[in-house]
Structure 1
Amino acid sequence: MLEEKFSLANIKEPSNAASLIWLCNPNNPLGMVIQKKEILDFAANSKALIVVDEAYADFANESVASFTKKQSNLIVLRTFSKGFGLAGLRIGYMIADAGIIAKIEAARQPFNLNSMAAAAVPIALRYENMFAKMREMIENNRDAFIVRLKKIGYRVLPSSTNFVTIKLSNPMEAKNLFSFLEKAGIRVLSPWNEEFSGMPRNMLRISIGTKRQMDSVFKALAKFKKI
């Protein structure tokens, strides 16, 4: 899903022969979201298992997790890496129909959850209100950052995540901006990163931090515009 105007209708025909379809929603690295109704309609008309990776769903208002009982071919994956900041512990979970869970359980490796992660999650959940406020802060900083970037001429993709993706006029401009930011001590995700080799080469992904951090990033981006 590395298209700005992606629609599940675009993959309807090729997906007829598939046994499993994987959707990242919200999308990474673009940040956009597929509407809940579109996913549910797609799943209802598909014979394949529909796996929805909702790693960034804590920053969006769209989730199909509550529909897995009604839609037996729907699987939702969630993680504590993004919305709770526990990325180093590598812990997540699956929400699915009981029949699917039984099949997964039969093939699950023993000791697949480390003891540190098992101890950390209950503590994190006790502080859910605190994490919710942190996510709200990130969302507010994200939205304000997008508005500011658009005012000085940057093309910014819609985002329902904790990052924004900007689209430059061509790959060379993206490379120049990446180098400019790096010299300023600001690291952003580029399409030359092996993890996102399919990312359009004229785009850069910027993670959202505190207001002070985003002010610094904005000043650097504004300075680049004047070069």
Structure 2
Amino acid sequence: KVLLDEEFKLRPERVLSVKAGLLYMASPNNPTGNQFDRSAVEEVVEGFSGVVVVDEAYAEYGRYTLIREAPARENLVVLRTFSKAWGLAGMRVGYAVANRKLATLLKERGMVFACSSLSLKAAELMLERWNEVEKAVEELKRAREWMRTEMSRLPVRVYPSDANFLLVKLPVSSSWARERLLEKGFAVKDVGRMPLCEDSVRVTVPPKPIAETFIKAVGEILER
């Protein structure tokens, strides 16, 4: 494991100092929500001697994708999913983009029946509705930035996000806050035990009316 820096940035020199045959990174990252600087990721891909797997599960909410680069790279595999922006979490549909050699290797090592015909049909139908998905993604991005601005008025730190959630650092115990918010009808993910995330919770971006009530609830528990 290679830790990010205190601002959750990817430091290529740290990664490239590790000897390994395979490197996995999620960008946008979970639970921090940030997408690593493209130049930093590309530096890692170019300098790493093994295979680099970049999980772009939340890339629709981010600033860029490496999909178009993957086929031309010798050691890059990009993973995508229909579980997030496409709304098909229960269908378990995803895909990998890589050069022909790596793609063939993945196919040979993969499950014989990786997806059901129903799941594949659902994914096909969603592709035909890309305009609707794109609109929903843009709406969520606006809601995310609004929510981050409003929550920043509280005595908390809300980190920038390129995903459909926010990481919030609290001035109180994250486990205590989780229980108090649950009493008010809100479920957040306590990530306080994860590296660099002490006293932090992950909050999925909801519709604005729910977000307003949630922000009020956070303010109330912090006043105790």
- Aligned-pair CA distance for 1:224: 1.9
| Aligned mates of 2:16, 2:189 — CA distance in 1 | 33
| 1:191 and 1:199 in contact (8 A); partners too | no
SS at 2:36 equivalent? coil
| Aligned mates of 2:117, 2:71 — CA distance in 1 | 30
| 2:12 and 2:41 in contact (8 A); partners too | no
Shift in CA distance, 36/115, structure 1 to aligned 2, threshold 3 Å: same
| 2:178 and 2:188 in contact (8 A); partners too | yes
Letter in 2 for 1:98: R
- Aligned-pair CA distance for 1:198: 5.3
| 1:149 and 1:218 in contact (8 A); partners too | yes
Alignment correspondent of 2:109:
107
Alignment correspondent of 2:61:
59
| Aligned mates of 2:125, 2:98 — CA distance in 1 | 25
Task: Please list, as runs of the form range in 1=range in 2, the aligned pairs for 1:105-184 lying within 5 A after superposition.
Answer: 105-169=107-171, 173-184=173-184
SS at 1:221 equivalent? helix
SS at 2:71 equivalent? coil
Shift in CA distance, 203/10, structure 1 to aligned 2, threshold 3 Å: farther
1:188 maps onto 2:185 in alignment? no
Alignment correspondent of 2:200:
203
1:212 maps onto 2:214 in alignment? no
SS at 2:43 equivalent? helix
| Aligned mates of 1:219, 1:51 — CA distance in 2 | 40
| Aligned mates of 2:179, 2:62 — CA distance in 1 | 31
Shift in CA distance, 37/13, structure 1 to aligned 2, threshold 3 Å: closer
Q: Which moved more, 1:157-166 or 1:99-108?
A: 99-108
| 2:21 and 2:50 in contact (8 A); partners too | yes
Letter in 1 for 2:40: E
Equivalent in 20, 23, 26 of residue 24 of structure 1: 26
| Aligned mates of 2:40, 2:87 — CA distance in 1 | 29
Q: Please, what is the CA RMSD of the aligned residues?
A: 1.8
TM-score of the superposed pair, with normalisation by structure 1: 0.91
| Aligned mates of 2:11, 2:78 — CA distance in 1 | 17
| Aligned mates of 1:40, 1:9 — CA distance in 2 | 9
| Aligned mates of 2:82, 2:4 — CA distance in 1 | 24
TM-score of the superposed pair, with normalisation by structure 2: 0.92
| 2:8 and 2:32 in contact (8 A); partners too | no
- Aligned-pair CA distance for 1:14: 3.3
- Aligned-pair CA distance for 1:13: 4.2
Q: Which moved more, 1:155-164 or 1:200-209?
A: 200-209
Shift in CA distance, 109/168, structure 1 to aligned 2, threshold 3 Å: same
Q: Identity of aligned pairs, percent?
A: 25
* Runs of 4+, deviation exceeding 6 Å: none
- Aligned-pair CA distance for 1:27: 0.4
- Count the aligned residue pairs: 221
By percentage of residues, which structure has more helix?
A: 1
- Aligned-pair CA distance for 1:226: 2.0
SS at 1:66 equivalent? coil
Shift in CA distance, 45/10, structure 1 to aligned 2, threshold 3 Å: closer
| Aligned mates of 2:71, 2:16 — CA distance in 1 | 26
